[in-house]
Amino acid sequence: MTTLTLQEHFEHTDESVELDSRDPLVRLEALCDPDTFVLHYECDGAAAGVGRLDGSLSVVFATDARIQGGALGVDSCDLIVHAYQLALDQDIPVVGVWQSGGARLKEGARSLHAVGRVFSAMTRVSGTIPQVSLVLGPAAGGAAYGPALTDVVVMGPDARVMVTGPDVVRSVTGEDLDAVSLGGPEVHGRQSGVAHVTADSDVEAIAKTRRVVGLMARAVVPVSVSDEQRDPAATLPEVARRAYDVHPVVDAILDEPGVELHKNWAPNVVTTLGRLHGRAVGVIANNPIRLGGCLNAPASDKAARFVRMCDAFGIPLVVIVDVPGYLPGGKQEVEGIVRRGAKLLHAFSSARVPRVTVVTRKAYGGAYIAMNSKSLGATNVFAWPGAEVDVMNPTAAVRILNRRDLVGLDGEELAAAEDRLAAAHAVTTGGLSTALSEGLIDAVIDPIHTRDAISAAITNAPADRGQLTNIPL
């Protein structure tokens, strides 16, 4: 069987050729754009240098899985700390390629102290420069928390991120689990939320890492001028109550499909990095095909993390809203919907980047507020024709407000009465004219003009939006 270096494999078209390299230099050369990697540091256990990822100058480092399984010692940790300092000094992203068993056993507490210094360096630059981790093999102990401290984690198919390995788990808890069940891509991509992106091959993982870095680091790229008019509403079902997948809507707003983060974790909210007229943007969208698009505890956590990350690196936010409310139930209360929902409110309220909301069909209740409403300081809020903004669905509202009038009715008679009362309620409280007159919505726009409206709102946003609007006492 033929084996290739990572770079050769990356450029190879024959998928039958298997990848067989743990050499950190080979991995770093493959990670960087062709012929751009320059080695700066190399030691027993790691290597680091500078290269370009999707055109963006970045500091890159990799652990050496060939030596003690990539375990981190004093020297390799010092190298990573130096790499972080270089990235901070140059104000450029730092990208780590991880495959490591954690602290070196033979170096004892010294290695633990060294790993702690890496954590400190990561924390010190958090929110200042983009940090991206690419995990290509087992990453345990300190090597698990390293990636988890960074902004975006990309996991290849052989990645295993875990605090302790199967043998220790078995001896301490009695659980008989393998490494895949403990920390494989499925666990962290779908259940824990540790992995932002998972890939079916190392080659795909490298490509996605490059794109993420380019989107986070390059605010604007040249785009060809096009008169093409896209209709984001074209794929929506005609029946307003029918569920649909929001991904085509997001794709129609962006120049081209972006990189979705946390695709399989809390999929009732979609979070995507992409470009709009060449400008990097972060898109948050309710996904009605999943839980009806309701906000729940994990989705609130996911969205809040995304808002904070985009705000930290000056990436404007586009919020696509079709939300019936928060998902009710005892399970949600136990999972911390109040605490985690509050984090989303806080994230939007404190964000200083331009953030534009488009209400496509409905925005009800507390979820209306949480999805970047005017009350939280949205730059602009637009709505498509027929959208509704209200405390709750009109039918549900009249079942509470008019319950005495509905007593004794059933079947078609009940349905007709509910429809009549709901229509009157919607005109009074949930119509677009009311939202416009109250300033809750800035404008009702034709869906085909959505891209241009968002782009203009971002371009014209005030440079400093940190001051509260004066409110007369």
Pick the catalytic residue from 45, 73, 101, 141: 141
pLDDT classification of 397: cutoffs 50, 70, 90: low
- Residue in 49, 101, 142, 184 annotated catalytic: 142
- CATH of span 225-384+445-459: 3.90.226.10
Name the β-bridge partners of 198. 155
Residue 399, pLDDT score: 66
Residue pLDDT, tens place only, 233-266: 999 998 888 999 999 999 999 999 999 999 999 9
Q: Is pLDDT larger for residue 39 or for residue 172?
A: 39
pLDDT of residue 343: 95
Give me the catalytic one of 116, 278, 366, 431: 366
141 is catalytic: yes
Of the listed ranges 17-26, 48-57, 82-91, the one predicted with least confidence: 17-26
Name the average pLDDT for the chain: 88
CATH of domain 3-216: 3.90.226.10
Indicate the angle between helix axes 202-217 and 24-31, nearest 10 degrees.
50
- CATH 3.90.226.10 in the chain: give the residue spans: 3-216, 225-384+445-459
User: How many Cβ atoms from other residues are within 10 Å of residue 388's Cβ?
Assistant: 20
User: Per residue in 403-456, pLDDT tens?
Assistant: 777 777 777 777 777 677 777 766 666 567 788 888 899 999 999 999 999 999
Catalytic residue, from 139, 367, 435, 457: name it: 367
366 is catalytic: yes
Q: For residue range 346-379, list pLDDT tens digits in order.
A: 999 999 999 999 999 999 888 999 999 999 999 9
